[in-house]
Structure 1
Amino acid sequence: MKTRILSGAFALAALVACKEKEEKNTVEEIIEIEEVAPETYAEISVKKGGSWKEDTREYIDGSFENVDELIVPEEHTDHSWYIRYEGPGWENKQTAYRLYLDWRNAIDIFGKKVDTLVLPYVGTDGFDSYHNNAPWGQDILKAGKSMGIGGYGRFTGDTIAHFDEVQKTSVKVNNEASQSSVAINYEGWKTGDVTTDLKSVISIFPEDRFLKAELTPSISFDGLATGIVKFEEIPLMQGTSEDGSWAYISTYGVQTLAGEQDQLGMAIFYKTEDAEVIDGPHDHLVVFKPSTETQTYYILSAWDQEHNGIKSKEAFEKGLAEKLAKLDNHGVLE
C-alpha cells in the first residue's frame, strides 16, 4: 500500500504499528512517502551563539538559525545584523517579499528570476549580499523613509509614524500546504496620544504575485494606513471595480535598484468603504477609517525580469482589472 502524506513544506517518513487481534503480533507497515516540493514558504532566521554590543545595538558573531516564533529583543533595531535580511520573508514560485522587523516596518520586494523557492539561501553568504544581482534575483525596492509596498503605520496629518515606540513585538511563522503566513503582534504601539496593540497577519498563496494583509487594532483610532513608496516621474494610477466595492492604487515604471531599464509594477487593493487615498510625503497612502474591525487589503508587485514575468504596463493593468473583477465576484483573491 502506498500513502501520500503532505505536511506544508516538509515530507515525512513514518512507521505505523498495528496489532492483529487474532495473532496478537505487532506488524510494522511501511508507508511510502512521496516527497512534495512546497509551493509557498515563510521564515524568520536569527543569529544564535553571539552577543549584543550595547553601545551600537549590534549582534556580534553567531550564526543564523530559523525559528518558528520570536520575541524581538529590546536591543534590536535597523542594521543590528541579528535577523537575516532584517525580518520575516514570504515567497511562492513567482515572487518574494520581506518586512523590516524594526522601527521602519516597511515591506520590501525580492525580485526573483527563477521559479523555485530561494529565501532559505538569501543573505546566508553575507548580510548585504542580496542587494547584488545574483542568478536567483535580488532586493529590488528602495524603501527609504516610506513603508515600501504595503507596509503599515499611522498617518498623523503630515507624516507617517512608524514603529519607534513599541513595548513588545512578537512574530510567529506558519507554513501549510495551502498558504504560508507571518503573524506579528505589536503590544503598546505608541503614536502621539494613541497607544494600541496591533495584530498583523500577512499570507502568501501558491499562485500569483500578491500578499494578503490583515490588520487588527485593539482600539479604534484615526490614521492607520498602508501605501506604496513614491518615486519622481512615476505617476499614481487608480482603478475601481464595477460595483465600486474594491479599488486599487498602483505605479508602474523604472523604479527599482536593479537597473536603469527594468520595469516594476506595484499595487494595493482595498475596500472603498473602509479607506481613502491620500498623498503622503513619501508614500501614496491608503488610510483606513477608525475601527477595531480587521482591515484586509492585498499587496501586489510584478517585475519584468521574473521568470515568465509581466513585460508591459498594458499587461500589468490588465492583470489589475482581472483581480478587481474577482474581488467583485468573490471578495477574496486567494
Structure 2
Amino acid sequence: MKRIHFFILLISSTLFSCQNEVKFTFENPLEVDRTDEVIVLSRADLAAKMDLAEGRLPVLKKADGETVPSQVDDLDGDGKWDELVLIVDFEKNQKLELCAELVAEESYPKYKKRTNLRLGIAQQDGSWKEVDTYKAIPYTEEFKIISQGEGVTWENDKIGFRVYFDCRNVKDLFGKLLPRMVADDVHTPEFGSYHELADWGMDVLHCGSSLGSGGIALLKNDSLFRVGSTDVYEYKKIVEGPFRSVFELRYSGWDVDGEDMEAVERITIYPGKYWFESDVTIKGCADNDQIVTGIVTSQLKDEPFAFKAADFQCIGTHGVQSLNNDELGMAVIVPKAEAGKIDRTSDINFFKLGYETVKEKGFSNIISETYYIGQKCQSGVPAKHYFFSVWGLEKDQWKTENGFKKYIGEEAEKLSAPIVKL
C-alpha cells in the first residue's frame, strides 16, 4: 500500500503568527454554511509558493494557529505525495486565509478515521487478509466467494457501500446508525450477521439481478450490458485515509454485443457525505453509446423521481424499501450537459427463464428491476457521477421524499459551486 501520512499539529495561537508564512485564501461563493468541505491542493500548488524540502510535509493553519484537518496522498505510487486534502468548515460567503508551513514528517500524529476501504481475501485459517491489489476469480471458473463481505467495501461516518467481487459486480449498501467503521469487522465471529439490525446499522438493500446501488452498464443499440463476466476484474487501492479513500475497479475482456471493451471505475469517498463519487472510463465505446448507472427497484412501491438541481440531472427513488422495512432513498446525479436516457427496465426474472449466471445466488447477468440514467460515453475519457443513499431509521429527514430531495439539491448546489482558491 502507498505510504500516506495523517496529521494534526497543535500550536498555541500565542506562538504562531500568519504574517511571515505562505498564505492561501479560499472563498465560499454561496450564501449557505458548508460543513466538511473538501479542498484539494496539488503538490504544484504548494511548490509554487514554498520549497518542499525532503522529509517535511505541509501543514495548513488558520490565523489563530488552529490546524486544518488534512492528509497527504501519494496517488501514483512513486513514493512522493501528490495532493494535500483539506477538510474545512465555511460560513456563508466566507473568505478564509490559511497559512502553510512544513513540519517534520515524523511529527505528524494520526486523525480518527472518517473514511475506510477494504478488500479482505479468505485465508486457510478462516481469517481475512486485507490486500491492496487482487484479481477476482475468472467468470469461466466455478463460482466461489473469496472476499470478506463478498466484495470490496468503502464507507464513511454516514453510510457504507460494497460491490460484489465476482461476475455479479452489483453494488450494495450498509445503512449506519453510528459513525463506526465496520468494513474490517464484517464476517468476523464477533461481528454477527450484517443482515440483522445491530447498534451500528445493517445491510439494508436487496439487489437481485439489478444494478443495485449504483452498478455500471453500457447502453448500446437500446440494450443494456452489465460490466460483469469480464475476462479480468481487478481491484486496486489508490489511497486510504481519514478524509479521503480512493480505489479502482479495472475490467478487460468485456464482451459488449461482440465488441471487446475495457473499463475502469475510480471511486472516491469523503467524510460527512451521504454519497460517493464515481469516475467511469470505457475504452472502445461508440459516440452514441451511454454509460449507465442504476438503482434497484425490486422493493419500490412508489414511483421513482427525476429533477434538475444546479448543474445536475438527478434520478432517484424513495419509500419503504429497505430490508428493515423502513424508508430508504437512493439517487444518482449526472452533469446536465452529459445526461442521457432515463428509463426503467422490466421486472422480468430472467434467472427463472433460464439465464442462470450464478446458480448459487439465483443471479442473471441480464439487468432487471432497475431505474437508470445514461451518460455520454467518450472512449478513454472519464465520466463523473455521484451516488446518494439515506436511511430513514438514521435521521427523520430521510423519512420523506421531500427531505431527501432537499439534501440532494443542496449537495448539487455545492458541487456546482466549489470552494474557490483566490
TM-score category by the smaller chain? Answer: 0.7 to 0.9
- What corresponds to 1:322 in structure 2? 410
The reply to whether residue 284 of structure 1 matches residue 371 of structure 2 is yes
Cα distance, 1:319 vs. partner?
A: 0.7
Aligned partner of residue 143 in structure 1, secondary structure: coil
- What corresponds to 2:111 in structure 1? 36
Cα distance, 1:161 vs. partner?
A: 2.4
Aligned residue among 167, 170, 195 for 1:103: 167
The reply to whether residue 313 of structure 1 matches residue 401 of structure 2 is yes
| Residues 59-78 of structure 1 aligned to structure 2 (within 5 Å) | 62-74=126-138
Aligned residue among 278, 283, 286 for 1:218: 283
- What corresponds to 1:16 in structure 2? none
Aligned residue among 327, 330, 339 for 1:263: 327
Counterpart Cα distance in 1 of 2:132 and 2:313: 34
- What corresponds to 1:26 in structure 2? none
* Cα deviation digits, residues 139-191 of structure 1 (max 9, x gap): 11101111111110123566532244312121112203431122111012112
What amino acid does structure 1 have at the position aligned with 2:317? T
- What corresponds to 2:195 in structure 1? 131
Instruction: Answer with 321-330 or 151-160: which moved more.
Output: 151-160
Cα distance, 1:118 vs. partner?
A: 1.5
The reply to whether residue 236 of structure 1 matches residue 301 of structure 2 is no
The reply to whether residue 227 of structure 1 matches residue 291 of structure 2 is no
* Cα deviation digits, residues 60-93 of structure 1 (max 9, x gap): x642111111122326989723101111111111
Q: Retained in 2: the 8 A contact 1:113–1:137?
A: yes
- What corresponds to 2:88 in structure 1? none
Identify if the C-alpha distance between structure 1 residues 184 and 323 changes in structure 2 by more than 3 Å, giving closer, same or farther: same
Identify if the C-alpha distance between structure 1 residues 319 and 75 changes in structure 2 by more than 3 Å, giving closer, same or farther: closer
Aligned partner of residue 194 in structure 2, secondary structure: helix
The reply to whether residue 273 of structure 1 matches residue 337 of structure 2 is yes
Task: Give TM-score, length-normalised by structure 2.
Answer: 0.64
Aligned partner of residue 36 in structure 1, secondary structure: coil
What amino acid does structure 2 have at the position aligned with 1:102? D
Counterpart Cα distance in 2 of 1:301 and 1:251: 10
Aligned partner of residue 182 in structure 1, secondary structure: strand
Identity between Structure 1 and Structure 2 (%): 26
Aligned partner of residue 322 in structure 1, secondary structure: helix
- What corresponds to 1:162 in structure 2? 226
Aligned residue among 88, 94, 111 for 2:158: 94
Task: Give TM-score, length-normalised by structure 1.
Answer: 0.79
Cα distance, 1:247 vs. partner?
A: 1.2
Q: Retained in 1: the 8 A contact 2:261–2:283?
A: yes
How many correspondences in the alignment?
297
Identify if the C-alpha distance between structure 1 residues 208 and 290 changes in structure 2 by more than 3 Å, giving closer, same or farther: closer
Identify if the C-alpha distance between structure 1 residues 287 and 35 changes in structure 2 by more than 3 Å, giving closer, same or farther: closer
Identify if the C-alpha distance between structure 1 residues 100 and 127 changes in structure 2 by more than 3 Å, giving closer, same or farther: farther
Counterpart Cα distance in 1 of 2:309 and 2:401: 19
Q: Retained in 2: the 8 A contact 1:79–1:86?
A: no
Q: Retained in 2: the 8 A contact 1:165–1:191?
A: no
Counterpart Cα distance in 2 of 1:235 and 1:310: 17
Cα distance, 1:34 vs. partner?
A: 4.2
| Runs of at least 5 residues in structure 2 that lack an aligned partner in the other structure | 1-7, 11-56, 58-69, 74-103, 347-368
Aligned residue among 385, 405, 412 for 1:297: 385
- What corresponds to 1:248 in structure 2? 314
Identify if the C-alpha distance between structure 1 residues 208 and 246 changes in structure 2 by more than 3 Å, giving closer, same or farther: same
Counterpart Cα distance in 2 of 1:248 and 1:193: 32
Cα distance, 1:286 vs. partner?
A: 1.0
Instruction: Answer with 123-132 or 81-90: which moved more.
Output: 123-132
- What corresponds to 1:57 in structure 2? none
Q: CA RMSD in A?
A: 3.1
Cα distance, 1:33 vs. partner?
A: 6.3
- What corresponds to 2:122 in structure 1? 47
Aligned partner of residue 398 in structure 2, secondary structure: coil
* Cα deviation digits, residues 198-253 of structure 1 (max 9, x gap): 011011101111000000112223243111112442211111135xx311001111
Counterpart Cα distance in 2 of 1:192 and 1:183: 25
Aligned residue among 122, 130, 145 for 2:209: 145
Instruction: Answer with 118-127 or 84-93: which moved more.
Output: 118-127
Q: Retained in 1: the 8 A contact 2:328–2:398?
A: no
- What corresponds to 2:77 in structure 1? none
Counterpart Cα distance in 2 of 1:270 and 1:214: 11
What amino acid does structure 1 have at the position aligned with 2:344? D
| Runs of at least 5 residues in structure 1 that lack an aligned partner in the other structure | 10-28, 50-60
Identify if the C-alpha distance between structure 1 residues 326 and 7 changes in structure 2 by more than 3 Å, giving closer, same or farther: closer
